[in-house]
Chains A and B, each alone.
Chain A
Amino acid sequence: MAGTGIGARVERKEDFRFITGKGNYTDDINRPGQAHAYFLRSPHAHAKIRKIDTAKAAAMPGVVGIFTGADIEADKVGGLICGWMIHSKDGTPMKAGAHPALAVGKVRYVGDHVAVVIAETLAEARDAAEAIIVDYEPLKPVVDLASATKKGSPAIHDAAPDNQVYDWHLGDEAAVKAAFRKAKHVTKIDLVNNRLIPNAMEPRAAIGDYNPGEEAFTLYTTSQNPHVARLVLSAFIGIAPEHKLRVIAPDVGGGFGSKIFIYAEETICVWAAKKVGRPVKWVADRTEEFLAIAHGRDHLTHAEMAIDENGKILGLHVKTRANLGAYLSTFASSVPTYLYVPLLSGQYNIPAIYGEVEAVYTNTAPVDAYRGAGRPEATFVIERLMEVAARELGMDPAAFRKKNFIKSFPHQTPVIMCYDTGDYNASLAKAMEIHDVKGFARRKRESAKAGKLRGLGYSAYIEACGIAPSAAVGSLGAGVGLWESAEVRVNPVGTVEVLTGSHSHGQGHETTFAQLVAGRLGIPIENVAIVHGDTDKVQMGMGTYGSRSGAVGMSAIVKALDKIEAKAKKVASFVLEASEADIDFKDGQFSVKGTDKSIDFASVALQAYIAHKFTGEQLEPGLKEGAFYDPTNFTFPSGVHIAEVEIDPDTGVTTIAKWTAVDDFGVIINPMIVEGQVHGGIAQGIGQALLEGAVYDSNGQLLTASYMDYAMPRADDLPSFRVDHTTTPCPSNPLGIKGCGEAGAIAAPAAVMNAITDALGHENIAMPATPQAVWQAAQAGLARAAE
């Protein structure tokens, strides 16, 4: 499609500054007189703090201030919060241990914050931190997820003596039991969803600044949702009331969920800025990112599927143990519960589902949302089950899926979600066609001739995006509403600023949002500026995560544009001396029906501001409108990814030979950007399946704390991807958007593991399928075949 409107492959407006080195990331900002913060972190996974002696450190050159948990307590700085209440099966609320920004009395993971040193330079702060003497009394750490709640395990928090955060469930247990009694076949599977470290390339950073004249704080921070950060820092942590606290999230170098949360470091920087009377800057080094950013996934799951004699699924029972780490991070509790079990129905008609989730504390970094958040875990369970069940039944995995696909909409699943629309057959058929599944047998023979094992795996995923209808999530325990806001300001010359509560950290909002506005108002895209990431400019917003910026953020803009158009028509009616009902608006022109009288958008804008053609009684001058949009349902992007792998049984190296993705994201604003989102998501999903995994030793030391130890996907680990679409527009929002940001990461792990197990001929391998693991599994498979 030509032009710059919805559907056009418009080059990104934001790119110029990034490709010329003129981006403005938090670490690129310096405030006059700023000092530098360095955090002294716990070397122990679990220990009592007997005493902290800062005297020698305080006398070191350049030191401006040193603070510990005692100072936090004395100043009554509130603890970090978890914003989603989950209740256990027995109705008791989750057990949330206190989470002070600097440790009080105890440290609970390696990397926990013990003290902050603020000095003239970072080097001086580091040097002084080394001189702080902490007297620790090491305690037995709880590291292993499987045994964390065993009797005799030391308690990490007094509030949770057995280390259990909650024991939650969803679905109809009796109905599931009945389904299993009727089953002809039951497929059982045990799965590990490996722990991941998000690793946005820009490390987290913060600058706290205090203006004593105004008694007001400013925080520059690497956040996906600056308004939520302000709300939490203000209302819960108590730094300052919201009108005295400005949060700016400038260019942010990737987030993937990890920059949603409100962490200790930014809290301390903004609080300490007033204490020391200087701006305080902190930038994480990569090791700190590994140690102290919220990790993702980390589930152990046993799942069973009941199937009847015709290959129809009767029921699903899933039992998961989720690791939440040492403290409850901002949204941690919601990830293995409401973002997980409600998606276990996948694309399938499953009459009965029962999910049980036990969440536990361990002496490891907190675990929270990472790209997909709960939905990749759900997809991994259901899609591994589908593949294994098909193999056990001797059915073709695609045919087995097809047989069980949901075919009519809306479809109410037994676990909350009401899928509004979709065409799962269409995406499967298109993916199989593009992938040339028919030719797989031939390709497998060719691989075999070369001594290689070839396998093909499907992943038919669904996700719930467009997060989320506020009242619905409120009834499930969310502490906030999840609407979005927009304000459209038309300037007298007809240029437009759009203020949005969404936040772009790579998604390209400055382009896609401008496409919408330019198309709607019939003005050049250059005349539209998207403003985001500053609480002084944008009044309120909920930020970007859960693939919500298109479906929710852009819907808010549409609502504001509706109001702009209505007001502009009124202005035009005065200028053109016609009745408002006779004014048409098309392609940037207001015209009077049945005449040749017309006026363009920019001229109407000018008339709105000079206000000569109408009186104050008739119409308010100006052209500026705001809107809040609260979604009426989740959106349900879906699709089919097909992975084809080739394994060298001698080395265990798995090569992704071919990848096909066919996604249904509803209406697409900019296909170029959407494809990019899919590529990046797939890469992270392949990373999880083949390479990545956070490893703690039995003492709770993180062994994978650098790029030397944590295997990030690199260019030569990955293939080029074939990405295509089918489209069923989303009926619940004005643009028909479903969302695309997480799909790849959700779909990919199951596709890879289904392909690897297909190649190996057995299911006995877990993620990450490293060459060593694959080699062992391949040798075991070959030995078994030889018997």
Chain B
Amino acid sequence: MPKVSMTVNGKRVSADVEGRTLLVQFLREHQRLTGTHVGCDTSQCGACVVHVDGRAIKACTTLALSCEGANVTTIEGLANGTELHPMQAAFRTHHGLQCGFCTPGMIMAAIDMVNRLGYDLSEETIRHELEGNICRCTGYHNIVKAIQAGAAAMGGMKVAAE
């Protein structure tokens, strides 16, 4: 079996995997990072979204071997201990989750949205950008609010840091 090495949430990891092992399997089964979920088999739901080299990707449709040497961030890598990432905090404050199953993917997709489009996101933009993430519980209303607030908070943090 080929060996794959990558950095996951700042930690160097490697494992022998079958060629067909998906990144989501590598994360969930080899690394026991079960915050990344699998909600479908057609790359539609977004429950599996993680960041690879700073970009959101669907870990259910990515081979682990293709991430050789990559820098992977999962939902477990966002908070600093109990100090939440502003997007995580916004999901809680705005009740952007119910069962929580879609939530890791939503949060990872939302941060990527901010990285690409900035801190001032309109409702329309957010709804359009969530094309690849399905939530069955919330009706999206509070997810949209959470992302808008989370984006603004990320902007505020950036300003504060400068």
Contact = CB atoms under 8 A, between A and B. Distances in A.
Is chain B a partner of chain A in the same complex?
A: yes
A252 B137 CA distance: 12
B86 to A, nearest CB: 11
Contacts of B18: 123
B136 A199 contact: yes
B100 A251 contact: yes
B144 A715 contact: yes
Interface string B53-79: 000000000000000000000111011
Contacts of A506: 98-100, 137
A21 B135 contact: no
A581 interface: no
A708 B42 contact: yes
A618 interface: no
Contact of A707 (B36, B40, B79, B139): B40
A298 interface: no
Nearest to A28: B34
A201 interface: yes
Contact of B100 (A14, A123, A677): A14
5 contacts: A16-B82, A20-B75, A254-B99, A715-B135, A718-B141
B119 interface: no
Contacts of A123: 18, 20
Contact of A716 (B28, B34, B44, B128): B128
B144 A507 contact: no
A235 to B, nearest CB: 29
Q: Counting chain A CB atoms within 10 Å of each CB, which of B18, B28, B99, B104 scores highest?
A: B99
Contacts of B104: 18-19, 21
A714 interface: yes
Interface residues of B, number: 56
Interface string A678-689: 011111100000
Nearest to B47: A201
Contacts of A708: 42, 44
Interface string A1-44: 00000000001101111111111010110000000000000000
Lowest 6 CB-CB distances: which A-B pairs, in order?
A: A21-B35, A253-B101, A18-B100, A683-B139, A506-B99, A21-B75
Interface of B: 18, 20, 28, 33-42, 44-45, 47, 74-76, 78-79, 82, 84, 88, 91-93, 95, 97-104, 107, 123-124, 126-128, 130-131, 133-144
Interface of A: 11-12, 14-23, 25, 27-28, 123, 199-203, 251-254, 256, 285-287, 505-508, 672-673, 675-677, 679-684, 706-708, 712-716, 718, 720-721, 744
A619 B68 CA distance: 68
Contacts of A251: 99-100
A286 B42 contact: yes
Nearest to B97: A18
B100 A23 contact: yes
A715 B37 contact: no
B136 A714 contact: no
Contact of A680 (B78, B79, B127, B139): B139
Q: Counting chain A CB atoms within 10 Å of each CB, which of B45, B98, B130, B133 scores highest?
A: B98
A21 B33 contact: yes
A252 B100 CA distance: 9
Contacts of A713: 139-140
Q: Counting chain A CB atoms within 10 Å of each CB, which of B28, B44, B101 scores highest?
A: B101
B37 A202 contact: yes
A201 B123 contact: no
Given A19-B107, A285-B41, 14 more contacts: A12-B95, A16-B82, A27-B34, A201-B136, A254-B99, A286-B41, A286-B42, A505-B99, A506-B137, A675-B95, A707-B134, A712-B136, A715-B133, A715-B143
Nearest to B35: A21
A27 B28 CA distance: 10
